[in-house]
Amino acid sequence: MKKITIIAIVASIIGFVDSAYLTIIKLTNSPIYCTPGLGDCESVQNSQWATIWGIPIALLGSLAYLALIFCFVFEKRIPVLKQYSQFIIFGISLFGFLYSLFLTYLELFVIHAICQWCILSAICMTVIFIATIIRLKELQLRTSK
């Protein structure tokens, strides 16, 4: 497995653990731990932007990270993924990256509070998106020879 793929898998695992934590906090109405001085996670978690149609955004993030992990791990083992995994991963990571940008904008300019856990997820998705672009570029170079 290539180094760039391993980096993307590690970022996906970290993103999954992070978003799973946020999902559990949201579903159980538990207090969220936020490092003092690093933000106001409660305000972000309790904002109208933390759910969409009653579904926690963090749960959707968890599912996206799980889908990415699945694709990365099985892309060479499952025939349909051999053919389409690069594009599935690109689609998920592009959407996740853009949605993370939108959520970060909301934190900064609408909610006026930062959630360190949300920023961690945005960083993970950014790393995955960049890794995906690199992987697609490598695929393009291999197939053009």
Listed in sequence order, the DSSP H helices in the chain are: 3-28, 41-45, 57-74, 79-106, 116-143
CA–CA dist 85, 79 (Å, integer): 10
Ramachandran sector of residue 37 (left: φ over 0; alpha: ψ -120 to 50; beta: rest):
left
**Any idea which residue has 């409660």 for tokens?**
42
pLDDT greater at residue 14 or residue 143? 14
Instruction: For the full predicted model, state whether its pTM sits above 0.85.
Output: yes
- pLDDT > 90: what percent of the chain? 79
Specify the pLDDT at position 145: 67
Give me the chain's average pLDDT, please: 94
Architecture of domain 3-139: Up-down Bundle (1.20)
pLDDT tens digit string along 90-138?
A: 999 999 999 999 999 999 999 999 999 999 999 999 999 999 999 999 8
